[in-house]
Amino acid sequence: MIPAAFEYHAPASLADAVKLLGQHGDEAKILSGGQSLIPLMKLRLATPRHVVDINGIAGLDYLKEEDGVLRIGALVREADLEDSEFIRARYPLLHDTSRVVADPLVRNLATVCGNLAHADPANDHPAAMLALGAEVVATGPRGERRIAITSFFTGPFATALRGDEVLTEVRVPVPLPRSGGAYLKLERKVGDFATAAVAVQVALDPAGTCVHAGVGLTNAGTVPIKARRAEGFLRGKPLDDATVRRAGELAAEEADPVDDVRGSAAYKRDLVRVLTARALRLAAGRAGAGR
Amino acid sequence: MVPRTPPEVGGMGHSVKRKEDARFIRGKGTYVDDIQLPGMLYLDIVRSPLAHARITKIDTSKALAIPGVLAVITGADLAKYNLHWMPTLMSDTQMVLPVEKVMYQAQEVAAVLATDRYIAADGVDAVEVAYEPLPVVVDPIKALAPDAPVLRTDKTDKKDNHIWHWEWGDRAATDRAFAEADVTVRQDIYLPRIHVASIETCGCVAHFDRVADKLTVWMTTQAPHAIRTVFALVAGHVGLAEHKIRIISPDIGGGFGGKVPVYPGYVIAVAASVLTGKPVKWVEDRMENLQADSFARDYHMTCELAARKDGTLTALRIKTIADHGYADAAANPSKFPAGLFHICTGSYDFQAAHVEVDGVYTNKPPGGIAYRCSFRVTEAVHAIERMTDLMAHHLGMDPAEFRLKNFIRPEQFPYRSALGWEYDSGNYAAALRKAMDRIGYAELRREQAEKRQRGELMGIGISSFTEIVGAGPSKHFDILGLKMFDSAEIRVHPTGKVIARFGTRSQGQGHETTYAQIIAEELGIPVADIQVEEGDTDTAPYGLGTYASRSTPVAGAAGAMAARKIRDKARKIAAYLLEAAEDDLVWEPGRFSVAGAPHRFKTIQDIAFAAYTNHPQGMEAGLEAVSYYDPPNLTYPFGSYICVVDIDKGTGQVKVRRFVAVDDCGNIINPMIVEGQIHGGLTMGLAPALYEEIAYDENGNIQGGSFIDYLLPTAVETPRWETDKTTTPSPHHPLGAKGVGESATVGAPAAIANAVVDALWHLGVRHVDIPITPAKVWKLLREKGVSE
Ligand SMILES: Cc1cc2nc3c(=O)[nH]c(=O)nc-3n(C[C@H](O)[C@H](O)[C@H](O)COP(=O)(O)OP(=O)(O)OC[C@H]3O[C@@H](n4cnc5c(N)ncnc54)[C@H](O)[C@@H]3O)c2cc1C
């Protein structure tokens, strides 16, 4: 559990970081929270020759609502979401998610943006961001560009980021009126990656009809999954028991899990069904409570 | 029990704060990895990616080219000294480093010696090994098939994978009882392979001093003295004599049986130090520890119970296939290849019983150690407690009533079991009744019935276990011929302070405190004035070490006996000082006084001073004693645990809602330490019940080889333990004490498994093998048509 030798860089500005990435190409890796990268390096599954630590760059740790979006900077830690009363009240889905990522020690360091950039289908934030319809900001040598979350995850551990880009921000649209969200995760023990998990975000009209629904699935396929059929089914319906159950079935059909040590594909698929229905009930309750 | 000594003295029954904690909670413990010696080299190990393969080439050139890599040691190098194989404690053999083939994934293949730890790791990465894969045998039952590949080709006469057959009990009487029985039940029960996963992994610093011609090894071992003898026996031919070997077992971060065996890494480090004349450190990482060190359990049991219609148990029969991996590296007493598995009649009065165990080789790491249990007692308890529940349910009887009906009754003690053990003392019904009262058993059964009506799944499980600890009487117990006595040496200094040394080695049990309390109890000297030391073979008296809950029953007893010898001498000195006859003196803890004249007394401190300054003519000076204690019998702690679980129909998750543990370990030395041992033990019992397993795929790839997949429960998974006790002293132990370090680990899994089956019985579920994972429960529920 000792990593191979590497060179360590600690740029003080974003521009320097981008430059280092440009110089070293495939041989460089960004280090943010380090909670995925360092374990991989210790196991020598990752052997970057250059590690570019972005923790010394000022001004990347903002968490604020501005111009209709929640902006989460690259150095916002899971613990920042977990500890924020504002996030708990207004973005319950994000709050739920941050609380079940790993354990408190990991959450003190792990970043939300790193959780997306790492693109592990078992990571929790990708599904949450899919349910929320987020957008990612990438900063490279030619400046910033925005990437819709739906086109960000291109494969297992692969994203639309270029080698010389830093993921500098994730943007979450501010919630519609009468919104609620929830994240439910089944893990073998605390701190484990999900056997399966479901993120939902819904908005209701004054009569209680669902006007917006986002459903994201964690560890239910080789990439994070947006359960579009379940989402489409929910829109325009009251979130009664039959509806949420049916949505659970649809989400389960959209899941594409495999057998592994966490359980059989059939088990995981059924968990998606059960958890989707439960999460929708919880989210609908939260949306109603804010009415 | 009301303590006989005041709190300042702190004898038995006082919750004295642990003396060792002063250093542990300040991070000032000294573990093996804290040892730093000048010029120390580091060893790291190349391990096999394959479970069974012929080694065709080991190319060390790239590794040797790395600056700082001093040597790459292979099996061929060790073979020159005939050190490439070593004996196991069970008279089997295992490789130190292979010359021909590897037998399990993660087996040691070569070792890199370097000037620092990082370079050693780079060296490991650079060693190139070519393998030719061989057919892998994972399943011990298939391993016994006639066409199975023979694994131990090193044993020229070996034509199959069968290691040994062992049986015990009266087969004919048992068969007869089964033939005559009204009711019989039968169940296959698998107790999976698990790992102790102690927080500190294994390691050593070996230092061969060429000038003194002496080898000192700081080593994570539970049995330093036995290890010294083993080293002398194994390496005698290369010139290591026993007086030139010193084993120091410093602070140990958990042993649980996993630090009894000798691992190849220790031997390689010693060889490397002898060859280089430099200190060599080897410390495993977590994955090496989980993947290569000795496992526990792995018993495939077929269990049968016979009973009369009225619910009286009559006979028990168990056949077991024991998967030992590629070598039998258990650490059982030599006469008992299946340990004390024949305690499996448990707390019940049987007419007849018969057990058979067959040891089998597979392509897995060697072992079969006693993980926080006295040599296979956990396996025995799981079998009998699961079967008892099965029979009760089968007969439509309440499992608590069924147990109460079949318990060995208090007046039957000392009780000779159908399998020949003599139980020292017990009152099983009292413990179970107390647990039932504590948890509100009748009310829980009502709640369960109501919930069942609503389709909710709730279960109540009981385990009324009997343990067998404190090995053991020399007549039956030895390891490699070394009798399983243990020892204490007490010296009282002139000012009445004490140093006491023991042949055992604490790994978290709190010996520095409890042994001091035993001496305080016997001599009335305050615990604060008593320093306890263990673990250094140059200073401590010879003993067999700490495992199988033997420290208090054996070394603790030795402590009491040595203290009594001191008290006898103290009486003589007091008589001399008080000018009274010895028989006229009255002892109360800490002083002798003259009968009828209590103001005429001498304290133990006065006497200690006199022992060096004013001792009677003709008496040797000094106040010290040694005792080597050969226990007349084992001790039989017991208890009753009741657990309530709720099961999530949607996800299959099992939640332990309540858990009441009533333990009886005889007279208690330190109630706080006992409670701590039980809390920790219960969590270690919860672990295999719901979470932990080391499984292998069909190619012999380990599935639980890191803490990602080897699921150690945390505080979050742990329920609130509710503990209580009854006290039934051991009649033969000098203090009436029994062992307690393992009761909870041994007893808890069955209570949890029984609760789960209890919740699902009405659906037609009869048994679930542990660990009872959500995935397993989900599958059962869906098979039975239950869903959310
Ligand atoms: C014990 C343990 C348990 C865990 N359990 C969970 C869990 O249950 N759920 C879960 O979701 N995660 C879990 N994790 C992973 C943890 O949340 C990760 O740390 C997180 O996913 C990655 O964030 P990071 O900031 O630590 O990224 P790092 O480890 O620093 O980086 C991860 C990868 O992303 C790249 N990267 C990081 N930041 C950026 C950026 N700003 N721009 C471009 N590329 C970047 C890195 O180059 C690297 O390839 C666990 C980790 C541990 C150690």
Q: Which residue among B651, B713, B775 places its CB closest to the CB of A189?
A: B713
Q: How is domain B486-629 classified at the architecture level of CATH?
A: 2-Layer Sandwich (3.30)
pLDDT mean over B685-705 = 96
Partners of B704 on chain A (C-beta within 8 Å) are: 261
Query: Tokens 């298939």 sit at which residue?
Result: B142
Give the integer Cα–Cα distance in Å for B773 and B788.
18
Nearest ligand 1 atom, CA A161: 43
**One-letter amino acid for residue B559 of the chain:** G
- pLDDT for position B571: 98
Report the residue of B116, B709, B778 to disrupt the A interface, i.e. the one with the largest count of A CBs within 10 Å.
B778
Domain check: are A96 and A166 in the same one? yes
Q: Does A190 touch chain B (CB under 8 A)?
A: yes
- Answer whether B284 touches A (CB < 8 Å): no
pLDDT tens readout for residues B357-393: 999 999 999 999 999 999 999 999 999 999 999 999 9
A37 and A75 fall within a common domain: no
In this structure, the answer to whether residues A146 and A183 fall within a common structural domain is: no
pLDDT in tens, B559-594: 999 999 999 999 999 999 999 999 999 999 999 999
Query: What is chain B's mean pLDDT, rounded?
Result: 97
Tokens at B60, concatenated? 């060390």
Q: Which domain-ending residue is among A117, A144, A173?
A: A173
Apex B682 CA angle, B681 and B686, nearest 5 = 120
The pair of structure tokens assigned to B675 is 């409670």
- Kindly state whether residues A206 and A166 are assigned to the same domain: no
B651: nearest CB among A44, A186, A261: A186
Give the integer Cα–Cα distance in Å for B239 and B81: 11
- ipTM for the predicted complex comes to 0.96
User: Do A168 and A186 lie in a common domain?
Assistant: no
pLDDT of residue B236: 82
Whether B112 contacts B123, CB under 8 Å: yes
Has B372 been annotated as catalytic?
A: yes
CA dihedral B531, B534, B540, B543 (to 10 degrees): 130
Query: Which stretches does DSSP call E strand in B455-581?
Result: 457-466, 478-479, 482-483, 486-492, 498-502, 530-534
Tokens of A285: 């309750």
In whole angstroms, give the CA distance from residue B488 to residue B560.
9
Pocket test for ligand 1, best of A1, A21, A30, A218 (most atoms within 8 A of CB): A30
Give the total number of structural domains in chain A: 3
Q: Which of B392, B378, B372 is nearest to B432 (CA)?
A: B392
What is the residue with the minimal CA distance to atom 44 of ligand 1?
A: A117
Q: Do domains B32-134+202-283 and B296-471+633-783 have the same CATH topology?
A: no
Q: CATH code for B296-471+633-783?
A: 3.30.365.10
Report CA-CA distances (Å) from A100 to A224, B389, B452.
Answer: 17, 37, 32
Return the residue in A106, A186, A244, A278 with the most chain B beta carbons within 10 A, the one to mutate for interface testing: A186
Closest chain A residue to the Cα of B711, Cα to Cα? A189
Q: What CATH number corresponds to the domain at position A42?
A: 3.30.43.10
B783 close contact with A: CB closer than 8 A: no
Question: SS3 of B698, please?
Answer: coil
For residue B222, indicate whether it is catalytic. yes
| B747/B462 Cα distance (integer angstroms) | 9
Known catalytic residue at B344: no
Phi-psi region of B666 (alpha: psi -120 to 50; beta: other; left: phi over 0): left
pLDDT at B725 over 90: yes
Contact criterion met (CB < 8 Å) for B773 and A188: yes
A3's tokens: 């990593």
Instruction: Tell me: do A101 and A25 sit in the same domain.
Output: no
Ligand 1 mutation pick, A14, A20, A21, A35, max ligand atoms within 8 A of CB = A35
pLDDT of residue A37: 98
Chain A positions touching B67 (Cβ under 8 A) are: none
Q: Supply the DSSP string of B313-359, one letter for each residue.
A: EEEEEEEEEEE-TTSB-----TT-TTTTGGGTTTTB--SEEEEEEEE
In this predicted model, which residue has the larger pLDDT, B480 or B441? B441
When scoring A189, A273, A280 by the number of chain B Cβ atoms within 10 A, the one with the most, hence best to mutate, is A189
Whether A226 contacts A150, CB under 8 Å: yes
Buried b (16+ CB within 10 A) or exposed e, B215-232: bbbbbbbbbbbbbbbbbb
Q: Is residue A148 part of a domain?
A: yes
Radius of gyration of chain A (CA): 19
**A70 and A162 part of one domain:** yes
Q: Tell me: the pLDDT tens digits for A92-138?
A: 999 999 999 999 999 999 999 999 999 999 999 999 999 999 999 99
Residue B612 to residue B610: CA distance in whole angstroms: 5
Give residue A158 CA to ligand 1 midpoint distance, Å: 13
Q: Which of residues 21-60 of A touch B (CB under 8 A)?
A: 44
Q: Do B778 and A190 touch (CB under 8 A)?
A: no
Is B716 touching A (CB cutoff 8 A)?
yes
Among B373, B501, B512, B643, the active-site one is: B373
Domain spans, chain B:
32-134+202-283, 296-471+633-783, 486-629
Measure Cα distances from B440 to A68, A263, B427, B486 in Å.
Answer: 56, 36, 20, 43
> pLDDT band at B290, cuts 50/70/90?
very high
Q: What is the pLDDT of residue A290?
A: 52
Give domain status of residue A262, yes or no: yes
B202-220 pLDDT per residue, tens? 999 999 999 999 999 999 9
Distance CA A240, CA B106 (A): 54
**B104–A contact, CB cutoff 8 A:** no
Whether A186 sits inside 8 A of B782 (CB atoms) is no
Annotated active-site residue B373? The verdict is yes
- Do residues B346 and B407 lie in contact, with contact meaning Cβ atoms separated by under 8 Å? no
Residues 6+ apart with CB under 8 A from A8: A51, A53
Q: Is B712 on the interface with A (CB under 8 A)?
A: yes
Q: Which of A173, A207, A240 is the last residue of a domain?
A: A173
Q: What is the CATH number of the domain that holds A102?
A: 3.30.465.10
Task: Note the pLDDT of residue A291.
Answer: 45
Which atom from ligand 1 is nearest to the alpha carbon of A100? 8
| Helices and strands in chain B, H and E counts | 19, 33
pLDDT digits (tens, 9 = 90+) for B304-343: 999 999 999 999 999 999 999 999 999 899 999 999 999 9
Q: Block means of pLDDT (10 residues each) for chain A, length 291 residues?
A: 96 98 96 98 96 98 97 98 97 98 97 98 98 98 97 97 97 97 97 97 96 98 98 97 98 98 97 98 88 45
What burial letters (b/e) apply to A233-261, b meaning 16+ CB within 10 Å? bbeebebeeebbbbbbbbbbebbebeeeb
How far apart, in whole angstroms, are the C-alpha atoms of residue B627 and residue B437? 43
Segments forming the whole domain that contains residue A193? 179-285
- Closest-CA residue of B relative to A248 is B788
Question: Would you call A262 and B775 a contact, using CB atoms and an 8 Å cutoff?
Answer: yes
Cα separations (Å) of B361 from A23, B196, B298, B326? 55, 21, 12, 5
Instruction: Between B787 and A290, name the one with better pLDDT.
Output: B787
Beta-sheet pairing, B203-209 with B214-219: antiparallel
Three-state secondary-structure class, residue B54: strand
Q: Does residue B228 surpass a pLDDT of 80?
A: yes
Residue with tokens 């604020």: A64
Among residues B94, B222, B448, B677, the one annotated as catalytic is: B222
Nearest CA to ligand 1 atom 5: A102
Question: Do A281 and A184 fall into the same domain?
Answer: yes
Band of residue B234 on the pLDDT scale cut at 50, 70, 90: confident
Any alpha helices (H) in A162-262, and if so which ranges? 228-234, 241-254
Which protein residue's CA is at the shortest distance from atom 51 of ligand 1?
A35
CB pairs under 8 A between A and B: 63
Same domain, A129 and A183: no
Give yes or no for residue B280 having a pLDDT over 70.
yes
Write the single-letter amino acid at B124.
Answer: V
Fold of B32-134+202-283: Aldehyde Oxidoreductase; domain 3 (3.90.1170)
* Angle subtended by helix axes B428-439 and B441-453, to nearest 10: 50
Same domain, A41 and A79: no
Kind and range of the H or E run holding A113:
helix A112-117
Distance CA B550, CA B162 (A): 31
- Yes or no: say if B713 and B686 are a contact pair by the CB < 8 Å rule: yes
Report the percent of chain B where pLDDT is more than 90: 98
Nearest beta carbon to residue A189 from set B717, B778, B787: B717
- On the CB side of B309, how many CA atoms lie within 13 Å of its CA? 1
Mutate to test the pocket of ligand 1, among A36, A50, A75 (most ligand atoms within 8 A of CB): A36
Q: Which residues pair with A187 in a beta bridge?
A: A194
Q: Which amino acid type is present at position B279? A: P
Q: Which residues of chain B make contact with A186, given a CB cutoff of 8 A?
A: 651, 653, 774
Distance of alpha carbon B337 from alpha carbon B376, whole angstroms: 10
Among the three residues A173, A197, A226, which one is the final residue of a domain in this structure? A173
